[in-house]
Amino acid sequence: MKIQTECVPCLLKRIIFEAKQSTDDKTLQTKAIRNACKMLSQIYDPNECSAVIATKIHKMVYDTLGDEDPYAELKQTSNRVAESLLPKIEEIIKASDDSLKASMLCSIIGNILDFGIEGSSTNPKMLREVFERIYSERLGYDDYSKLKLHLKKAKRVIIFADNCGEIVFDKVVCRELKKFNPRIFISLVVRGEPIISDATLKDARELNFKEVVDEILTTGCFAIGVDFDRLPFEVEKALKNADLITCKGMANYEAFSETDYKPIVYLLRTKCSAISKSMDIPLNVSVIKLYE
Amino acid sequence: MKIQTECVPCLLKRIIFEAKQSTDDKTLQTKAIRNACKMLSQIYDPNECSAVIATKIHKMVYDTLGDEDPYAELKQTSNRVAESLLPKIEEIIKASDDSLKASMLCSIIGNILDFGIEGSSTNPKMLREVFERIYSERLGYDDYSKLKLHLKKAKRVIIFADNCGEIVFDKVVCRELKKFNPRIFISLVVRGEPIISDATLKDARELNFKEVVDEILTTGCFAIGVDFDRLPFEVEKALKNADLITCKGMANYEAFSETDYKPIVYLLRTKCSAISKSMDIPLNVSVIKLYE
C-alpha cells in the first residue's frame, strides 16, 4: 500500500504513544516527536510504501529514545490476556460447524490488540471486554470458502504473524490447520527484531509454536511488516515454495500489497481508513480476503 | 494552553484537510504536508502556546498552497446552514425560561462546526442533524448563574467570535444580551484575516452585526485565536475597558488561557482531549466556564 495522507498523523500518534511508553522524560519525548517530524518532512512521499516509511520513522525514534523495545511490557500483557481467553476460544471452536474458520475468526479478533493508533485498543484487557461482541459480528469480508480450497490441496503454507496477543490465537489456527490438512508443512514467520507490538522469536518460543508448525523463521530485521530488500534467504525460499501465503494484520498487508506474491490471503481487522479504502472493505470489520 | 503532544497529529490532520480543500494537485498537497512536518520539527515545544505554533504552521501552509482562504466555500455553507436553523433557534429561545441562556447554548452548539479535526463535523449540514440531540444534553459545565451576575452589572463586554456558522447564533446571543442589559456596550472581535473556518469582518458585515453590537473590531492579523504581540490598539483598549471578556471556541481559549485577562468566560464545545484536560471538563460537552 502506498502511504496515504491520513497515515502521517496516524504514524505520529503512534510515535507519541511509544515515546510515552518508553520514557517520562518530556525532553526526550519532545526530541522523538521533533525527529519524527523532521524525517517525515524528508521521506513522506505518496508513491512510497507506507510500511517502508513507517519502518524508517520507528527506527529513528527507537534510536532517539535509546530503547530497543518500548512495547515490551505491553506485549507481555497482551499475550497473558489472550491466554486467559483461550478456554473461551476453545469452547467457541468446539461448538462451531467449522473449527478452522472459527479459529481464524478468533485470531482476526486478536488483531484488535494494537496500540497508539485510532481504532485500536487502549489496553490489552479490552480484548476480553469486546471479544464476544466482535465475534458475533462474524466476518465483514469472507473469502473462506475459496481459501479452504487452497488449503485442501496445499503442501506448504507460510504464515506471517503480526501482533502479540493475537499470536496466541494464531497458534490455535495452526493446530486447526494441521487437523484440517495434516500434510501441510507450515512455516511461521515472526518479526526479526522488536518493532511496535509485533511478535518476535521470543514470543514464538515462549508459546511453544514448534508444537504446531514445521519451521519458525523471522523477517530478519527491524521492519514494519516485511522489508523485501533485507529478506533472509530461508524466508525467500519458503515464500517461493509456498502454495499459499497467509498474512495476519495490517502491516503485512501494507508490505505484501506492493508485491506480486500470490495466492495470498489476508486475515485482519480493518482498523484504519487507509487500509479500508485500499482493500475496498468497510472500516472496523473482520476480514478474510484472498488474492489469487 | 501549552501545546500537548496530541496537538501535533491533530494539527497535521487539519493541514491535510485544508490542503485537500485547497487543491487536487497531489504534488502541492505533499509539499504542504512536508513543509508542515519540517516546521513542526523546528518549533514544536511543549512550553509554547498551542495557538502560537498552530498560527505559524497554518501561515506557512497557506503560503505553500498559495491560497488565502482554503475554507472560503465551507465558511459560506456553514453560515447558510446556521441561518436555515434560525427559526428553530428562535422557537427554542421563545419557549425557554431564560432566553439569554438558551441563546448561549445554541451558539455553543454552533461551535461544533469545525473541520478537519477529530470530534468535529465532516460537513456543515451535520449541524442540522445533531442540533436537537446536543441541545437536549444541555450544558456539561455550567457557570451561567455566576456569568449572569457579571452581565447584570457590566458596562462593557468584549466578545471574541470563533467559527463561521456559529457566528450566526452569536448574533442572537448579542441581541439577547442587549435585551437582558440594554446599558451594555458590546465590542465584537472577529479574525483579522481568513484563518481556518473562523469568521472575519466579511461575515460580521454580511450578517449585519451592527444591529446588535456597538463596535466591530478584528484581531488585526492572521492568527489562530488571538496573537497578543500583534493586537491592534483598539482591541487592546477594549480589552482593558471590558468588565467581562467573552470567548467563543477552543482557539480563543488556547490563546487567552496563557494570559491573565479576567474576568473571562469561555463558551465552547470540548472537542478535543487537550482542551478537555486543560479545562478539566469532560470531552464533547457544551461549556460555560467563568474565570473570575
- Torsion sign (Cα): B237, B240, B241, B245: positive
Query: How many whole angstroms separate alpha carbon B269 and alpha carbon B105?
Result: 10
Cα distances from B204 to residues A134, A160, A234, B72, B218, in angstroms, run 50, 59, 69, 15, 10
Instruction: Give the integer Cα–Cα distance in Å for A165 and A199.
Output: 8
Backbone angles phi, psi at B284, to 5 degrees: 60, 45
Task: Give the one of B19, B34, B41 whose C-beta lies nearest to A34's C-beta.
Answer: B41
Residue carrying C-alpha cell 501552509: B61
Task: Kindly list the residues from chain B whose CB atom is less than 8 angstroms away from the CB atom of residue A46.
Answer: 26, 30
Q: What is the pLDDT of residue B129?
A: 81
In the structure grid, which three cell numbers stand for residue B133, read together?
A: 440531540
At the topology level, CATH places domain B7-65 in Helicase, Ruva Protein; domain 3 (1.10.8)
Burial class of residue A271, CB neighbours in 10 A (0-12, 13-18, 19+): buried
Chain B residue whose CA is closest to A40: B37
Per-residue 3-state assignment (H helix, E strand, C coil) for A197-242: CECEHHHHHHCCHHHCCCEEEECCCCCCCCCHHHCCHHHHHHHHHC
Q: Which residues of B touch A122 (CB under 8 A)?
A: none
In angstroms, rounded to a whole number, what is the distance separating the alpha carbons of residues A111 and A289?
15
Q: pLDDT-based confidence at B209, cuts 50/70/90? A: very high
- CATH superfamily entry for domain B73-291: Uncharacterised protein PF01937, DUF89, domain 3 (3.40.50.10880)
Question: What is the rounded average pLDDT of the residues B88-105?
Answer: 96
Which residue type, as a one-letter code, is found at position A290? Answer: L
In this predicted structure, what is the pLDDT of residue B121?
Answer: 65
Tell me where in chain B the CATH 1.10.8.380 domain(s) lie: 7-65
How far apart are the C-alpha atoms of A101 and A108, rounded to whole Å?
11
Segments of chain A scoring below 50 in pLDDT: none
Give the Cα separation of A132 and B158 in Å (integer): 54
Q: Does B37 touch chain A (CB under 8 A)?
A: yes
Residue B120 has pLDDT above 70, yes or no: no
The predicted model gives B202-225 an average pLDDT of 98
Residue A197's nearest CA partner among A120, A106, A278, A101 is: A120
Q: Are B277 and B130 in contact (CB under 8 A)?
A: no
Q: Which residues of A touch B38 (CB under 8 A)?
A: 37-38, 41
Query: pLDDT of B181-190, one tens digit each?
Result: 999 999 999 9
Tell me, what's the pLDDT at A120?
62
What's chain B's length in residues?
Answer: 292
Q: What is the pLDDT of residue A121?
A: 65
Contact flag A9-B26 (C-beta cutoff 8 Å)? no
Kindly report, as residue ranges, where domains of CATH 3.40.50.10880 are found in chain A. Answer: 73-291
Instruction: Summarize pLDDT for B123-158 with one digit per residue, the tens.
Output: 777 788 888 899 999 999 999 999 999 999 999 999
- The pLDDT assigned to A118 comes to 65
**pLDDT tens profile B19-71:** 999 999 999 999 999 999 999 999 999 999 999 999 999 999 999 999 999 99
Query: In this predicted complex, what is the ipTM?
Result: 0.94
